[in-house]
Amino acid sequence: MTTVYGLKNCDTCKKATKWLDCFGVAHTFVDYRDAKPTPETLVEWAGKLGGFEAIVNKSSTTWRQLPDNRKAAASDAEWKLLLREYPQLIRRPLVVTDDGEISQGFSDNGFKKRFGID
């Protein structure tokens, strides 16, 4: 089973789940705001995706509105606290498959490659 993490009102998340439906890929959707990722999950994602800075959407309105001292998270603990408080900062959609592979974002070609569809 594939799990898609994101925000239910996010257009990119909607496109990704619609794509999965169209190609018959079984999946569940988890809204970050309704089910905030645990600190352990955030550490796992960051480890597989290249660190906390790699999973944060720095072009988001939420990021731009944060005070500079919050943007300068210097430790894993600060990143975990920030992302638990503002889960919408996580790039979306974040897709986790049963094999433990994690990816972020959506594109038709990227998903075709990821899910082995020609």
Quote the tokens at residue 99: 């094999």
CB 55 within 8 A of CB 49: yes
3-state secondary structure of 112: helix
Catalytic residues: 10
Give the Cα separation of 6 and 33 in Å (integer). Answer: 8
